[in-house]
Amino acid sequence: MNAEVESFSAPWPGVLVEMKDFVDLWFLARRCEPATVRIFISRTLVPQARLQPHVREFKAAVSGIPGCVIEFKGTDSPSHKIEIEYRRPA
Amino acid sequence: MSGLWSRISTAFERTDIGAAGDGTHGAQEPVRSTSTRYAPIRNAVERRVNAFLRDDLVSHLEIGPNEVFVLHYIEIAPDQQGEAELDQFMHEFSPESRVYWVKKLLGGAVGRHVSVDQFLGLDREFAAAQLAETDPYDEALNQSVIPPYRVILHGRWEARKEKPVVVAAASAPANDATETPDTRTEEIRAPGPSLKLSVQDNKAPDAGSWAGTRVIEVDSYPAVLGTSAEADVEISGYYVSARHCTLHWEARQLWLVDHSTNGTWVDGEKLRHGARVALANGAVISFGRDRGEADYDRYPSIRAQIMRKTAAPGGVAPTPIAPSRATPVVPLVVSSGAASPASAPLAPAKKPPLAVISIVDASGSPRRDVLTVPYTIGRGSAQDYVVPDANQGVSREHLVIEALDATGALTLNRAVSKNGTTSGHESLPERFTWRFGQEIILGEKWASSPPVRLTLRPVEEES
């Protein structure tokens, strides 16, 4: 398995637009490859009370990519992060 | 917290095997139409049970075919907006009714792969504090949108007590002869027409062209195709699943059912996961991707030719029936006996459409026949009508036609919270009836790309 990681630190909730564009472009470039997308939201940048409804909307916007599993986790790192794990054809 | 759950929480180890509504299973499942006020609860439970039957059960049985899932209980976790509805649901339906309903949903799997002898019921979830749930930040992150109910099945896998039914072996590769019968899955196989499979994979003697393929004959069904040594037709390839797809002979028609991870293509068309399609004579089945005759070692292909059975006992070898390549995707109804003359081609059984959609999209003004429901519309490659990528305002799965009646189509508007669907400049709700003759517009709000206009028409009007 290979992984691609990208960090984001723009202000909340606008950063979610950047994150969505990143996910969309990645899947556009590698059409329909099965992948796991892990989205890490920085606890230091976003307090829990400000997560919703933005995360729900973001989740709805990125769901439905065929063969793709999306997971959300909180992280203590100083920036948000998207990790896309995929299998490279042999 | 319910008294029932406090009692059973100490009786069983908590063994979640997954939850619906987390965006992993739910998005791929077809949503059934329902009009009761408990529709979201019903949908959530049905979706989870279906996902369990299709995904969890099938993938577990690939490794442990002789095991049975002992279901202990099912819990439903509402979010805040679903709390009151769930209270009413629990109040209205007795525990016995809920048990009856779940058993009905599990259907034929009960007794074969699922045991409900110890099933206690379907109830609200445990109190979060008692379950020592995950970190509240992660819980807030993972709040779901649709559906608002999380359904969790609890149980354990056990070895099946009775010995599995011994099955007949298909006309398969020679190495199948060494298999012991009790390693096969429990399925009663029935004879069907002789099918010649020309397999192009890296085991073929001179793969790369149809002339150099290895040929396998199948004459009893269902027949499993995959990499597993227990498959009836063993296919070798990086993107081929252990049980990739199954061939069935039903209602005088050959069918293919997909179970794969990386997808199955029939005559260049990708099947939706779990889809069942009629196979035309001469159909080409591709595994993992449709690459024609290239990359056969990673993406193998099979050509399926139906052979007529010989009339005389012990006589001549079966004769292949000429593949109908001129009209490739029309399913054929085949006589399994020897009544028809040897040279006569088999008559195509064309399925009449249920409705027709007139379309204006970036490619022009195509029309699509709705042959089955659910019928999906979107930019995703697995949709029934794949909208061109230039229509960026259309979601990957935008609409699902769930059912058709005399007035129109019961339609699920999956893009309701995204770019939406409109009619007469008014946004349509998550579920609506798409009347015959009504024009709807997909992605009208998306200013940077053209919308797609669709009009549903009954078949009589079109013909």
pLDDT in tens, B402-457: 888 888 888 888 887 777 888 888 888 888 889 888 999 988 877 777 888 999 98
> Taking CB atoms and an 8 Å limit, are B141 and A55 in contact across chains?
yes
Those residues whose C-beta lies under 8 Å from the C-beta of residue B386, and which sit 6 or more positions away, are B378, B379, B380
Position B131 scores a pLDDT of 42
Position B208 scores a pLDDT of 52
Mean pLDDT for chain B overall: 71
- Exposed (0-12), middle (13-18) or buried (19+): which is B422, by Cβ within 10 Å? middle
pLDDT for residue B361 is more than 70: yes
Using one digit for the tens of pLDDT, what is the confidence trace for B94-103? 888 888 888 8
Of the given ranges (B56-65, B182-191, B342-351), which has the lowest mean pLDDT?
Answer: B342-351
Position B144 scores a pLDDT of 62
Helical H segments across A1-90, by residue range? 15-29, 54-62
**If DSSP codes are grouped into helix, strand and coil, which group holds residue A49?**
helix
> Taking CB atoms and an 8 Å limit, are A64 and B298 in contact across chains?
no
Average pLDDT over every residue of B245-263: 82
Interface of A with B in 5-44 (CB under 8 A): 31-32, 34, 41, 43
Radius of gyration of chain B (CA): 25
pLDDT for residue B233 is more than 80: yes
Question: Using CA atoms, how far apart are residues B99 and B123, in angstroms rounded to an integer?
Answer: 10
Question: Using CA atoms, how far apart are residues B25 and B428, in angstroms rounded to an integer?
Answer: 25
**Residue A16 — pLDDT band, cuts 50, 70, 90?**
very high
Average pLDDT over every residue of B130-153: 66
pLDDT for residue B348 is more than 70: no
Question: Using CA atoms, how far apart are residues B101 and B104, in angstroms rounded to an integer?
Answer: 5
Question: Using CA atoms, how far apart are residues B7 and B17, in angstroms rounded to an integer?
Answer: 21
Helix pair B39-51, B95-106: axis angle to 10 deg? 40
Question: Using CA atoms, how far apart are residues B369 and A85, in angstroms rounded to an integer?
Answer: 38
CB-based contact (8 Å) between A47 and chain B? no
Position B295 scores a pLDDT of 67
> Taking CB atoms and an 8 Å limit, are A56 and B144 in contact across chains?
yes
pLDDT for residue A57 is more than 70: yes
Secondary-structure percent of chain A, ordered helix, strand, coil, rounded to 5: 30, 35, 35
Percent of chain B with pLDDT over 70: 67
Position B350 scores a pLDDT of 54
pLDDT for residue B155 is more than 60: yes
CB-based contact (8 Å) between A54 and chain B? no
pLDDT for residue B105 is more than 70: yes
CA atoms within 13 A on the CB side of B109: 24
Average pLDDT over every residue of A55-65: 82
Question: Using CA atoms, how far apart are residues B360 and B147, in angstroms rounded to an integer?
Answer: 32
Backbone angles phi, psi at B452, to 5 degrees: -110, 130
Name the more confident of A64 and B377: B377
Percent of chain B with pLDDT over 90: 1
Question: Using CA atoms, how far apart are residues B255 and B350, in angstroms rounded to an integer?
Answer: 15
Residue B410 near residue B435, CB atoms below 8 Å: no
**Residue A11 — pLDDT band, cuts 50, 70, 90?**
very high
Residue B256 near residue B231, CB atoms below 8 Å: no
**Contacts with A70 from chain B: Cβ below 8 Å:** 23-24
Average pLDDT over every residue of B237-241: 82
Q: Are strands B452-457 and B355-360 parallel, antiparallel or unpaired?
A: antiparallel
Question: Using CA atoms, how far apart are residues B189 and B170, in angstroms rounded to an integer?
Answer: 9
Q: ipTM of the predicted structure?
A: 0.76
Interface of B with A in 411-430 (CB under 8 A): 414, 417-418
**Residue A28, both tokens:** 């556009």
**Residue B251 — pLDDT band, cuts 50, 70, 90?**
low
pLDDT for residue B316 is more than 80: no
Q: Are strands B190-200 and B301-308 parallel, antiparallel or unpaired?
A: antiparallel
Chain A: closest CA distance from residue B256 (Å): 21
Average pLDDT over every residue of B103-126: 80
pLDDT for residue B203 is more than 70: yes
What's CA B135's distance to the chain center, in Å? 35
Helix pair A54-62, A15-29: axis angle to 10 deg? 10
Name the more confident of B82 and B340: B82
Question: Residue B361 gets which letter from DSSP?
Answer: B
Position B291 scores a pLDDT of 61
pLDDT for residue B13 is more than 90: no
Position B33 scores a pLDDT of 42
Q: Is the bond preceding B147 in cis, omega lying within 30 degrees of 0?
A: yes
How far is residue B167 from each of residues B163, B170, B178, B191, B310, measured CA to CA in Å? 12, 9, 14, 12, 25
Residue B143 near residue A56, CB atoms below 8 Å: yes
- Angle (CA) B411 B415 B416, round 5°: 80
Average pLDDT over every residue of B83-93: 81
How far is residue B120 from each of residues A34, B65, B90, measured CA to CA in Å? 37, 25, 15
Average pLDDT over every residue of B3-29: 44
Give me the residue from A31, A66, A72 closest to B142, CB to CB: A72
Of the given ranges (A62-71, B185-194, B276-285, B395-404), which has the lowest mean pLDDT?
Answer: B185-194
Highest mean pLDDT among A31-35, A68-72, B27-31, B335-339: A68-72
Average pLDDT over every residue of B144-152: 63
Question: Using CA atoms, how far apart are residues B305 and B319, in angstroms rounded to an integer?
Answer: 10
Q: Is the bond preceding A66 in cis, omega lying within 30 degrees of 0?
A: no
Give me the residue from B24, B141, B417 closest to A60, CB to CB: B417
pLDDT for residue B334 is more than 50: no
